[in-house]
């Protein structure tokens, strides 16, 4: 059971700054940004409160505006680091004595964590764990990482708990960067960036360093389903103990962290991702181990679909956009013209919703947003064909020469586009091979999980959620 979030407002002195990707329009009367993309209109008073894109909470009005901007994904907290003396570190471990010693040494060496209480939960190790200076709890038989974390959570006496897997090494100052976020009484959890441990083994180490499965990227974000950062891993996670209730779902051996984040969101809690804090993770050293781990992650989608429905959908696309792309891919000229017509109709519908009261609909701006959305949907469909639905793409390629050309072109283009921003980490051939193996392994795990669950729910696309209109007078009036 996850308790509902409290009604408390952001405290005085809490600072938010507009995200660097947020764009002002109409002379500052509107803000465009967030994930998913939205247009927010500000009342005159709200505009005066934002000074150079920065807002300091001083009263109930500024607290309400700051919260709206955070929840819309238009702003991020701007908080100084602070000491964390009210945190217990919980480490679940099984049969990793050397890694555990390395982690505990890193905690002792960091002034921000030295002296904090540490609870090590031995989840059925063959040789019982020894951890001098830490409280050790032991499960005689393995019960899984969720049960181990819950045991540590129950043993903690502090209001906040930092979960660290035994195969990570936190960078100095990581906790001091995370702890200030919990000044927000509605924040349940905040996660650091997971970066690769230096000296990683395996020919795929460069690929893992560039696009690791646990790395949520370089930009701070609100964490919620359907957004750019839809979850954060529990390999490193700082939580408010009172927000977790019964904690992780102990029946889940994979994706239990995603499930926790989504349950917290559903209960009204905020979750944030803070890449200014970093924790290094040791990835599997062998190709077989690496691919098994990717496939294992894929099996979790079926479990999530059973609990959260379409939140786990591999593709989120509006029906009209899907139809437009189907027409384009048919290859016929009249079909492409019809696809342009569908996008034109979407533009005509969107433009009035973007206009301020009494203004003409911004047709050009609406057309730009529709084109941008169609492009993003096309990339998602292509990505799905090489990752989530590659068995379907493979069958299509065998049966159709046209499909074969599309599949091969998409596989090459996807690898090249993913490699280009990280080209300094290695050559395109090795990166591309790792990309394709990564996708094949994850997709295989996804399909195996769906077959084992007896449900195709994790494989099905979903349509975007209904449009939301936010009205917050007198601070701001907003439309998405």
- Let me know if residue 222 belongs to a domain: yes
Span 209-220, pLDDT tens digits? 899 899 999 999
Claim: this prediction has a pTM higher than 0.75: yes
Same domain, 240 and 360: no
CATH code of residue 110: 3.90.550.10
Min mean pLDDT across 5-9, 268-272, 356-360 is at 356-360
List the helix and strand counts (H, then E) for the chain. 14, 17
| Both structure tokens of 120 | 């090590």
Same domain, 71 and 92: no
Span 225-280, pLDDT tens digits? 999 999 999 999 999 999 999 999 999 999 999 999 999 999 999 999 999 999 99
Domain finish residue from 78, 101, 117: 78
Look at residue 467 in the predicted model and tell me its pLDDT. 44
Within a 13 Å sphere around the CA of 411, how many CA atoms are in the beta-carbon half?
A: 24
Span 67-95, pLDDT tens digits? 999 999 999 999 999 989 999 999 999 99
**Residue matched to tokens 């600072």:** 15
Look at residue 466 in the predicted model and tell me its pLDDT. 57
Look at residue 26 in the predicted model and tell me its pLDDT. 85
Q: What is the DSSP string of 168-206?
A: EEEPTTHHHHHGGGGGSTTEEEEEEEEEEPTT--STTHH
- Let me know if residue 304 belongs to a domain: no
Structural domain boundaries, residue 423: 319-459
Check pLDDT > 80 for residue 282.
yes
Same domain, 239 and 258: yes
Mean of the pLDDT values across residues 427-450? 97
- Let me know if residue 237 belongs to a domain: yes
Residue 426 pLDDT level (bands cut at 50, 70, 90): confident
- Let me know if residue 393 belongs to a domain: yes
| Both structure tokens of 129 | 């764990």
Burial class (CB in 10 A: 0-12, 13-18, 19+), 47: middle
Look at residue 108 in the predicted model and tell me its pLDDT. 96
- Helical pair 428-453 and 390-399, crossing angle rounded to 10 deg: 100
Residue 181 pLDDT level (bands cut at 50, 70, 90): very high
Look at residue 191 in the predicted model and tell me its pLDDT. 98
Mean of the pLDDT values across residues 331-353? 93
Check pLDDT > 70 for residue 479.
no
- Let me know if residue 472 belongs to a domain: no
Mean of the pLDDT values across residues 397-420? 94
Same domain, 204 and 234: yes
- 122, containing H or E segment: strand 118-123
- Let me know if residue 111 belongs to a domain: yes
- Let me know if residue 311 belongs to a domain: no
Question: Which of 68-72, 234-238, 281-285, 316-320 is most confident?
Answer: 234-238
Residue 468 pLDDT level (bands cut at 50, 70, 90): very low
CB neighbours (10 Å) of residue 439?
22
Check pLDDT > 70 for residue 475.
no
Average pLDDT of the residues of the chain: 93
């Amino acid at each position: 059971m996850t308790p509902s979030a409290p009604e408390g407002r952001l405290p005085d002195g809490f600072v938010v700054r507009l995200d660097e990707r947020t764009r002002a329009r109409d002379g500052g009367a509107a803000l465009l940004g967030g994930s998913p993309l939205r247009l927010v209109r500000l009342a005159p008073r709200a505009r005066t409160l934002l000074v150079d894109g920065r807002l300091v909470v001083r009263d109930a009005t500024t607290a309400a505006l700051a919260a709206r901007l955070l929840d819309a994904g238009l702003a991020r907290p701007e908080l100084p680091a602070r000491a964390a003396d009210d945190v217990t570190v919980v480490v679940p471990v099984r049969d990793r004595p050397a890694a555990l010693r390395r982690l505990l040494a890193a905690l002792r060496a960091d002034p921000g964590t030295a002296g904090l209480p540490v609870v090590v939960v031995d989840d059925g190790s063959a040789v019982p764990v020894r951890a001098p200076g830490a409280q050790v709890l032991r499960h005689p038989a393995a019960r899984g990482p969720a049960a181990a974390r819950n045991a540590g959570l129950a043993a903690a006496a502090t209001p906040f708990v930092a979960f660290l897997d035994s195969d990570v090494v936190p960078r100095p100052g990581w906790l001091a960067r995370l702890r200030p976020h919990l000044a927000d009484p509605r924040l349940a959890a905040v996660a650091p960036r997971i970066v690769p441990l230096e000296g990683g083994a395996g020919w795929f180490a460069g690929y893992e360093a560039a696009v690791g499965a646990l790395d949520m990227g370089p930009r701070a974000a609100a964490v919620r389903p359907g957004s750019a950062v839809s979850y954060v891993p529990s390999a490193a996670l700082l939580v408010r103990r009172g927000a977790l209730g019964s904690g992780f779902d102990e029946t889940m051996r994979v994706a239990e962290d995603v499930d926790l984040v989504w349950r917290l969101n559903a209960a009204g809690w905020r979750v944030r991702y803070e890449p200014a804090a970093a924790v290094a993770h040791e990835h599997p050293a062998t190709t077989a181990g690496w691919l098994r781990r990717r496939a294992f992650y894929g099996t979790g989608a079926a479990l999530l679909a059973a609990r959260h429905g379409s939140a786990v959908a591999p593709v989120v696309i509006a029906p009209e956009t899907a139809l437009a792309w189907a027409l384009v891919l048919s290859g016929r000229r009249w079909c492409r013209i019809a696809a342009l017509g569908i996008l034109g109709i979407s533009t005509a519908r969107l433009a009035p919703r973007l206009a301020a009261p009494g203004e003409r609909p911004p047709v050009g701006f609406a057309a730009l947003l529709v084109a941008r959305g169609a492009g993003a949907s096309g990339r998602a469909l292509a990505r799905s064909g090489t990752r989530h639905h590659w068995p379907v793409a493979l069958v299509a390629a065998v049966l159709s020469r046209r499909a074969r050309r599309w599949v091969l072109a998409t596989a090459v283009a996807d690898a090249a586009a993913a490699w280009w921003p990280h080209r300094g980490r290695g050559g395109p051939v090795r990166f591309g091979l790792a990309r394709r193996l990564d996708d094949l392994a994850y997709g295989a795990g996804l399909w195996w999980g769906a077959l084992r669950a007896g449900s195709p729910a994790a494989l099905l696309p979903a349509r975007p959620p209904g449009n939301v209109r936010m009205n917050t007078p007198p601070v701001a009036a907003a439309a998405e």
